[in-house]
Structure 1
Amino acid sequence: MDLDLTLVRAFVATAGTLHFGRAAEELNTSQQVVSKRVARLEEVLGARLFERHGGVRLSEAGERFLPAAREVLTAGERAVATVTGAGPVVRIDTWGHLYAPMRTVAEAVRALGAVRWEPGPGRDWPSVAQALLRGDTDLGFGRVHPLPDGRDAGLTQRLVRLEPVDVVVGPSHPLAAADVLRPADLRDSVLVCPAELDRLDFLRRFADAFGITRRHDGPNLGLDHLAQHLRTAPEGFTVFPADVPLPDHLGLRSIPLVEPTPLYAWSLAWRESSRHPLLAALLRGFAESGRTRRWLEYRPQRDWLPDTDHPKLTGRQTPGR
């Protein structure tokens, strides 16, 4: 059976919008044309892909067909690129945006040459995991943690960086003059979270591990909002990966944490059944950056990682010394 990519594209657009009219706008054609193309694809496949009663929704056959249909379109785009010389496209969704994940990705991709990157802003790891499983993106980058009910089954991850974490306080915090701090020193302070705490696995585990019971969270309104809150909250603090640039006009202090030093684990994730052709080269880029910049140093007697991050240490690259 030969699949017409025009028909498959109409199906994928409709599946993404669950609306023939909006799919037509996306494809720059008419609703009638999209409807006909989907109907023709259903005829070719011998299966109904959408239920059309009381609105448009995917049928069971449509749910099964959608991931493979997305892969077909992606493969078609890559095939065209090999002939036109346009260069391959890599779709990568990141999360944990206040921690600037793309600064780490940028270090690893320099050696890949003429590659077209399409970064996407993921809401959090669960949403990026779903995008990977659906085939909406090729790679995910951020802090990966186990998802309930096996929702991450079929996904593979590679630890690429362990970044030391600093404590960030405003100028009026009682500990603002310290040169270094221990996590235990923060027990009488208030952990200010940049989003709802149930979405911040690392911060929640950090607070639980070091007995920090006073916590303040809320909607993610951006780095400037968080910085302003810290500046006006004498007892407030947050923790940030050490190399993240912070606003320098508000007098915030970034203080190293020791005894132990918490580490933030950055990982690359992908769907094992749909490896991007450039994945191996990208992993080599991360490994080289890790050796050069000592990204994967971990000493149990010195550092702290959440228990759920320990399995990621197996097979990690040995850092350069």
Structure 2
Amino acid sequence: MSGAIDNRWLSFTMGGVDVDTALLRAFVLTAEELHFGRAAERLHLSQQALSKRIARLEALLGVRLFERTNRRVVLSAAGIRLLPPAGDALSQVDAALAVVGTLDGPLTVDVLNEHLPPLRMVHQAIDRDPALRLRVTMGKGGRDVVADLRNGVFDLAFGRAGAIPAPWPADVARAILMLEPVGLLVSADDPLARRDTVTLAELRGVPLWFPGVATPAEWVGYLDELGAEFGVDIDYSGSTMGFEHFVSRIATGVHRATFLGTAMAPPPDDRVRTLGIVGPTPVFPWWAMWRRRVPRHQVHRLLAAMTGDGVPTPAVPDRDRIWLPARDRAYLAEDT
């Protein structure tokens, strides 16, 4: 990708002091990592060069930003105060540069898994906007969204923002794409199959299976929180071994019930039924996440084609009727 800005020197005024963005970026990344070695790797610098940038910024501002010992690095009181406006300032600079930036090749997007809604939505985008230049990857269970974005493995990823540890990385932007209701897949012979919906409380004691081998960690983490909050036990043993095999485990009664995103294509098997879950309805939040260096107009063009109606904001008339993990709910409140 062209347009890399991590080490680009731009100057702006902050509190009456002219500050180079390279110095400010060194501070923000070190504050995120609280480790000079890891921050230096992200900036493609030596630790000595990073330390010099931090020292120069501290000299310009006349304050100490970090307290350092042989064992740990922590933000000083001044550093804590500086971090939020510094992150905002870098976001604005990155956004401004992205407006005029270009990519040398197609936009690489990671859809996580071939059976999940983002791939179908990307196909829809290409149908609506054939001139889109996209390369699709599927990180599946092994991706690290932030690291892979920073390392150029892909330019944009779809997944749970809440799976990324706080604080939110200053160099990554996000936009909520959709809230996918999660349903319950059961055999057509199961007593529950006579119903259209089931409550979360009724799932206590029901043998639930969600194979964890090679399953995206974002889904496992989501169900871990769901199970803990509502007292639902989930068996993570085994692997899907392909979607059809996964569905057949339920259809033939090897396992009684499993969770399924209802925006996925319906299972091609009339031996199973998908029930709605209520009281509340668990929803899986899909965000688009990308490095701020990626031209924003390209991201918006893709998202608009995926939804057909501009960059989407999901309508959630009553948020008390849905369930989200705590961090996802907090990010959703910020973004809508």
Which whole-Å CA distance do the structure 2 matches of 1:285 and 1:62 have between them? 33
Q: Which runs of 5+ in 2 are unaligned?
A: 3-39, 46-100
Aligned partner of 1:119 in structure 2 is 136
Which whole-Å CA distance do the structure 1 matches of 2:228 and 2:173 have between them? 27
CA displacement 1:280-310 (0-9 Å, x = unmatched): 3234446754899x84325123211111211
Q: Which runs of 5+ in 1 are unaligned?
A: 6-59, 66-74, 79-87
1:262 equivalenced with 2:279 (yes/no): no
Tell me the TM-score normalised to structure 1 length.
0.63
Which whole-Å CA distance do the structure 2 matches of 1:300 and 1:113 have between them? 36
Aligned partner of 2:164 in structure 1 is 147
Aligned partner of 1:132 in structure 2 is 149
Q: Is the 8 A contact 2:106 2:135 kept in 1?
A: yes
Letter in structure 2 aligned against 1:257? I
Q: Is the 8 A contact 1:132 1:138 kept in 2?
A: yes
RMSD: 3.4
1:300 equivalenced with 2:319 (yes/no): yes
CA distance 1:284–1:246, shift in 2 (3 Å): closer
Q: CA deviation at 1:194?
A: 3.6
CA distance 1:198–1:92, shift in 2 (3 Å): closer
Q: Which moves more between the two structures, 228-237 or 187-196?
A: 228-237
Candidates 40, 64, 67, aligned match of 2:44: 64
Candidates 195, 199, 206, aligned match of 2:226: 206
Q: Is the 8 A contact 1:173 1:234 kept in 2?
A: no
Instruction: Please give the residue correspondences for 1:10-21 in structure 2 after superposition, counting only pairs within 5 Å.
Output: none
Aligned partner of 1:314 in structure 2 is 333
Q: CA deviation at 1:162?
A: 0.8
CA distance 1:280–1:272, shift in 2 (3 Å): same
Letter in structure 2 aligned against 1:127? D
Which whole-Å CA distance do the structure 1 matches of 2:42 and 2:310 have between them? 42
1:240 equivalenced with 2:241 (yes/no): no
Letter in structure 2 aligned against 1:141? F
Determine helix, strand or coil for the equivalent of 1:257.
strand
Candidates 178, 198, 218, aligned match of 2:195: 178
Determine helix, strand or coil for the equivalent of 1:185.
helix
Letter in structure 1 aligned against 2:164? L
Instruction: Please give the residue correspondences for 1:67-106 in structure 2 after superposition, counting only pairs within 5 Å.
Output: 78=104, 89-106=106-123
CA distance 1:102–1:64, shift in 2 (3 Å): same
Q: Is the 8 A contact 1:92 1:117 kept in 2?
A: yes
Q: Which moves more between the two structures, 147-156 or 258-267?
A: 147-156
Q: CA deviation at 1:151?
A: 9.3
Tell me the TM-score normalised to structure 2 length.
0.61
Q: CA deviation at 1:279?
A: 1.5
